[in-house]
Each structure stands twice: as structure tokens, then as C-alpha cells.
Amino acid sequence: MVICGSCQTSNSPKAKFCVKCGVNLRPEGTVTKTQAAEKTQPKVAPEQKATLVETKSRKQVSPSLKKLADPDSIEGSIVSYVETGGQSAEAKIEPLAQIDTPAPSSRVVSDVGNLLAEQHRVLSAQFESAVETPVQLWLNFPGVLVTGCSAVVDAKFENNGILPLQDIDLTLESNGLAGSASAVCRRLAPSQSIRVSIEVTPSKVGTFILRCSIKGIQQDQAYAFRGSVRIKINEVPDPKLVLNIGDIQCVQGQANAALGGEFAPVNISNLVQPGAIRTLNDLLSIELPEAYGRVPLELDYEVSRIDITKSGSPRKTTWSIPKKFLAHAQSGIKLKLEPLDSAGQVAAIHLVARDEFKLGRSRKDADFLTWFWPRSAENDERTRRLSKVHVVAETHGDKLVVRDAGSANRATFEGHPLSENENDLIDQRGTLILSHEYHLDVTPFESTLEGPLSIANERLWSGPPAKGDS
């Protein structure tokens, strides 16, 4: 990794610009801090890297660890599972202290830089494995982004494969924009490119993550890729005051930059002639030099067109209670569905039958357990920086909202802090970060249920009637 000398942020080994502050990491005649260290430090295998988000492999979980992962298990000393050359080894670890450890004081509230750094880390691993996407995306921002004022983003698609791409759909989303924006390309031949313009409306002031989602079809496969870049949205200048263009920034692509330095905020005073901008109209109508930057993309999902046709075909589903359960009625708010003999192919599903969903490190108080795995002294210390209940999500009608639960080290969604007193609407896919280092991919889904829920054999069940029944 390359360490920024200005803000101490970790960057990709190939990065030329800091993903957080935009500082040039490789000025001529200088050697970066990490470049020298890379010659002496041994490389770490990918499988030795710590995982940020809790994952469970059912094939390798020992009975002791399975008991630990159960939120209903008893507090106390626990046993962890360690890989030692194909053999398991058990080691005693003290239970987690029931206190919230404050994060280091150097942590900042905004997690925009953390989001980009994590994405670049994933993409670096993909590039090292020679993974190539069939489509490349380039963005150009010809004007300044000002809150409340419409702007245009130029997008360029490139087909670097040997087969044509069809029905390419690009969607741009950000918490700083008033809604999403999209563009469609019907067909793109191999080794060809096409440019489209997309209108966006900035709605908030600050630095935000612009999420880019691309869907397309190649032969019989449907692909979806995603990427993100940092954008700067400026406040509307006061017309009564003299316009100071030194305070205004725009987004510029670095066409020849390595991974980690594709986009950077640039002061507009470096791009226009002195005196060219005197009023707000001048600012909004100015056309900046063309500077396309490549958006790093990662594979989101891949599915065959046959499966898409099957899933999209209309069908009537009849719900019924299995016969073996008709004579059993148990009250509760949580339902755990654990797969049998799935060899790790099917993940467990936990359903919570209430409008509130809690995330935190407490097995007693939280619905979703936020621990760092595998258990170790270092990961235990990171887990202690998460609160017992760190974040609370709620459903308000058909909307999903989230708020901070008064945690010691706060939480952010898409790089911006959550409030303890106000709910934040989750209407787009994004990353929820707890204590600046526990990452969760959050995606809201609309209900697939059409009309009221109807159960064919409900009258044969020994339990209470469903809500709304007489």
C-alpha cells in the first residue's frame, strides 16, 4: 500500500493520487513511504487478509464456533477455530468486555475516503488475478456541480471484448443528488465506444460517493457491474457577494492515472482564465476542458437469460403451511432457518417479525451480530469499538430508515454520518460503516407480494389467525 504523507490514508500500490485528499503520491524525484517498505516486507497471501464483514463457512465451522455464532448462546469463555495446514486447532479466548472502546482520535466522521479505499483494494486484487470486465466506463464532468442547479455528466462506454454488448443500462445514484439518473445503449460492437450525456440535479452540499451501476447482455449471459467515484457539490454562491472561484471545486478525471487516482477534486481557478467567472450564470455556463476518467468496475452479479425469463414470467403462488407444522403454534419474534447438509452452499436466513431491526455486537440485544472474524486479540479489540446496539433500522410503511443508536464511535451510510435523533431514508444501495471499519452492503428491496397474504390451509392451523382476519 502507499501511505499519503498529508492525511496518512492507505492507498493502492498503483495509486498516483490519494483517494481521500487528492494529493499527488508520486511527485518526480521522490520515493513514497510505502515504496521503500515494499522491498523489505514479504507479500501476504490473499487468504491471510482479515475479513471486514462477518462470514460463516459451514464446511469449516467447528461445533464450538457454531455455538459462539448463535446469539442465544451463553456468555463466557469461547473457542475459536484456526486453520493450521488443513487441521483444526482450538484456542481459549477471553470473552469480550461489555464496554464500548472509543476509536482512535485520528478517525474522522466522514467515511468517503474509506469507501473508495476499500473498493480500490478489492479491484486491485481483481486486476492482479487478471479479471477483466467486458465493458469499461469513463466519466467526464464538463461543468461545476452546484446544489439546486441541473448539470450534465458525460459517459463513455467501451467494449473491450470480442462479442457485442446489448441493452447496456447505466444508472448514477448518490446521496448528494435528487434522485437517480440513467442512460441506455442498445448495442455496442466489439472494440467500439459510444458517448452519452446524462442530466443530474445536485441537492446537497459536500463531498459524496457517486455510485455507477452498469447492466448489459453479452450472448446468453446478463452482467451487472458497479463502481463509484468521489464528487464535490458546491454551495450556491451568494449573489450579493463577490464570487470567489478559489473556493469552488470541480471533478476532473485523470485519464492516464493508475488505479486509485482516476478522479480528483480540482480548484476551478486552475482551469479557467482569470476573470472568466464573475457571476453565478458564468459559473453554471462555463465549459471545462474535457477530462475523462475511468471508473473502476467490479462484477456485481451474473445470470443467464433463461433464468431472467423464468423469474420475469407471471405466475400465481399459493401459500400453505406444511402439514407437520399445522398442529404446532409457537409465539416469537425471530425465526432462524438453518440449512441441513448444504456444505456451505446455502446461507442461513434469520427473519425478524417486527418493524425494528438492531445491529450491534451484543448477542442479547442485537438482531444482527457485528463481530470481526476470526476471533483474535486484534479483532476482539476492533469488535469492542462497536456498541452493543450500534445502529437501528426501521420500516415506516414501505420505506426503510436507519439511525445511529447513540454509539460511541458513530456510523455512516455512504460516507456521511447517521444522526441519533433523525432517521435517514435508505432508498438506494449503499455501504453502512460502523465505527469507520465494519462494512455492510445494504440493498433495499420492494415486496414481491401482490395484494394481501392468503394462506390456503390457514383454517387448519392451531395457531392464532393472521392479522386482518376476523
Q: Residue 438: which of 397, 391, 400 has the closest Cα?
A: 391
**Are 309 and 217 spatial neighbours (Cβ–Cβ below 8 Å)?**
no
Can you tell me the mean pLDDT for 345-350?
78
Query: What span, in angstroms and rounded, lies between the C-alpha atoms of 268 and 284?
Result: 12
Cell numbers 463457512: residue: 57
Q: C-alpha dihedral over 174, 107, 43, 89, to 10 degrees? A: -100
Sign, CA torsion 138/143/147/153 = negative
Measured from the Cβ of residue 352, the count of other Cβ atoms closer than 10 Å reads 14
> What 3-state class would DSSP assign to 35?
helix
Provide CB contacts within 8 A for 156, sequence distance 6+. 137, 138, 139, 140, 193, 194, 195, 196, 292
Amino acid (one-letter) located at 418 = L
- Cell numbers standing for residue 120: 480500490
Query: 47-113+316-470 in CATH: which number?
Result: 2.60.200.20
Q: What is the pLDDT of residues 426-445, one digit of tens each?
A: 887 888 999 999 999 888 88
- Cell numbers standing for residue 396: 415506516
The DSSP code for 125 is H
Phi-psi sector, 119: left (phi>0), alpha (psi -120 to 50), beta: alpha
Query: What span, in angstroms and rounded, lies between the C-alpha atoms of 271 and 268?
Result: 5
Indicate the domain borders of the chain. Answer: 1-43, 47-113+316-470, 134-296
Q: Residue 412: which of 17, 101, 118 has the closest Cα?
A: 118
What value does the mean pLDDT of the chain take? 75
> What is residue 439's predicted lDDT score, i.e. its pLDDT?
92
Query: What span, in angstroms and rounded, lies between the C-alpha atoms of 150 and 125?
Result: 37
For the domain made up of 134-296, give the CATH fold: Immunoglobulin-like (2.60.40)
> What is residue 406's predicted lDDT score, i.e. its pLDDT?
94
Query: What span, in angstroms and rounded, lies between the C-alpha atoms of 123 and 253?
Result: 18
> What is residue 39's predicted lDDT score, i.e. its pLDDT?
38
Q: C-alpha dihedral over 337, 338, 340, 344, to 10 degrees? A: 130
Q: What is the pLDDT of residues 135-179, one digit of tens each?
A: 999 999 999 999 999 999 999 999 988 899 999 999 999 989 998
Would the pLDDT of 353 be above 80?
A: yes
User: 345: part of which helix (H) or strand (E)?
Assistant: none
Model confidence at 119, pLDDT cuts 50, 70, 90, reads low
Can you tell me the mean pLDDT for 247-266?
65
Q: What is the pLDDT of residues 42-79, one digit of tens each?
A: 444 444 333 333 333 333 333 333 333 343 333 333 33
Strands of the sheet containing 424-425, edge to edge, are: 368-369, 356-360, 391-396, 399-404, 424-425
Phi and psi at residue 79, in whole multiples of 5°? -120, 130
Mean pLDDT is lowest, of 9-23, 27-41, 186-200, 341-355, for 27-41
337 class by beta-carbon count within 10 Å (0-12 exposed, 13-18 middle, 19+ buried): exposed
